[in-house]
Chain A
């Protein structure tokens, strides 16, 4: 026990004296949270729009005023011809334009039907779709206003609620993904590199000649990163709650227990990688390419898994972060209890045990 303690203390010296490690350890989570929380928002706000108003009547003015009042649009000076619209699209100063025909109001009054044209920048299909929906909604709203007393015989009004995220906070989706990603980097990459480093330096040989048991080397290597990862997790949670206003609905102890389980999975992976590699570069490359990329692609927080080809969906089943992502989303965002995530927990436990066994086996045979 005393031996283990001096080893763990040594590991902490290593971590705190290596600026690069410290930067990865504590800089990365903050940067990622800020990046995903603010910069990479999927919400559409302050989008440039212009109007080509050929009608200049009461009705068109009222619609334009409604658009001006909307926080989603940034109203640019109205244009006088089609060429100007195109010019602005090319410049990128607007993403959509609304065009009223001459006699808009008369048409409306006479036949009860009038047309407007919406042009959106299709080069960015997602934004374009959202913009068109916004504009259509504004126009539909105005239509209602025009006929307050009119009653349709049949009317179906969809009442939409976004469960677990009523205020449509875009960061919600990213937090669990970012947490999974960070554990993957800190636990898997840093652990594997720190063991391989001992091999490169030749100190591993000394450790193997000492009475210190090989399995203790692995434990001593894993413990500091386990502790640091938990600290990291706390930092991320604090940032999420106070900076991004994410509400944690589920039980904190469950959240921590599941996270520690996932950390252990990542650590086992890191130990395994360190056993099969002999240079820091290789270890880094394997953990980055082999672990981070799948985490980004197959966890489901960037690209929906349901839309992927079957083969990729199949691959995603062996990516541990996939299960952790499901668990943490369920517990943190939906406030569900253990009975909803026991299956994923079981899978993660199985994976950890498997990886750990393989890692230990490999480590022992290296001695022969």
Chain B
């Protein structure tokens, strides 16, 4: 198909009269870190759910990893990873059991899981904690682990829905190191966030207001366009136009 990981054209999701997502169009290149910003209720989650194959669009076109969001949801699911804002590992399973479970769900063989799993915990510095219950790990570790599990099956694209909520800045920074490593390995990263310092880490960002994409460019160009030195200001100028109230 193309070199693009995600292609969206006039993608729309309507609930009754309410257009949660209103004709959004954008492309995401392979290996790119794409920031998906917007105030609460702007339609980020709805858009992301369509791209992940969790819900059907009302109209418009989109392809993810080269697969059609209407007809090939199963293929999309096999080629993406997903990390939600809620912590998504099982607390009463050990680190390694969580890895085994998610690896198993994505159909990896036992041997593969064992090898990759060992590499992964060593890389994360969790080798000593591999047999501990995940519930006993500190939040920062849990989130790094959740991310590593989300890309454990080597997806083409990973969707991160506000992955760093409630984490201190140092851990957030370390978390982004992991994201960069993943991107360097060729994994496309699609990330939503509320932190503007994180927006700066992205290659390109889009800002959604009232269901539409109002801005889309590199952080540097956006700052230039809005004539300001901070992403905060860019976001604020755009979000102020919103008619809808957040939830």
> Which residues from chain A sit less than 8 Å from chain B, CB to CB?
2-3, 5-7, 9-10, 13-14, 17-18, 201-203, 205-212, 367-368
Contact = CB atoms under 8 A, between A and B. Distances in A.
A206 B97 contact: no
Given A206-B88, A211-B78, A6 B54 contact: no
Interface range, B side? 20 to 34
Interface string B54-87: 1110000000000000000010011010111111
B40 to A, nearest CB: 17
B92 A14 contact: yes
Contacts of A18: 92
B86 A205 contact: yes
Contact of B88 (A13, A17, A205, A368): A205
B77 A210 contact: yes
B125 interface: no
B77 A7 contact: no
Nearest to A18: B92
A210 B105 contact: yes
Nearest to A203: B88
Nearest to B82: A209
Interface of B: 52-56, 74, 77-78, 80, 82-90, 92-93, 97, 100-107, 109, 159
Contacts of A10: 90, 93, 97, 101
B82 to A, nearest CB: 4
Contacts of A5: 104
B105 A207 contact: yes
Contacts of B101: 6-7, 9-10
11 contacts: A2-B104, A3-B105, A7-B105, A10-B97, A13-B93, A17-B92, A202-B85, A206-B102, A210-B102, A211-B106, A212-B105
Given A10-B93, A17-B92, A208-B54, A2 B107 contact: yes
B54 A367 contact: yes
B65 to A, nearest CB: 13
A205 to B, nearest CB: 5
Contact of B86 (A2, A3, A202, A209): A202
Contact of A206 (B82, B100, B103): B82
A2 B110 CA distance: 9
Nearest to B94: A13
Contacts of A3: 104-107
A196 to B, nearest CB: 14
Nearest to A208: B54
B86 to A, nearest CB: 3
Contacts of B53: 209
A368 B56 contact: yes
Given A209-B77, A367-B55, A368-B56, A203 B82 contact: no
A206 B80 CA distance: 11
Contacts of A2: 104, 107, 109
Contacts of B106: 3, 210-211
A201 B106 CA distance: 20
B92 A13 contact: yes
A3 B105 CA distance: 5
B107 A202 contact: no
B141 to A, nearest CB: 18
Contact of B52 (A14, A17, A202, A209): A209
B184 to A, nearest CB: 24
A205 B102 CA distance: 13
B104 A202 contact: no
Nearest to B92: A17
Given A13-B97, A367-B55, A368-B55, A211 B88 contact: no
Contact of B77 (A6, A201, A203, A211): A211
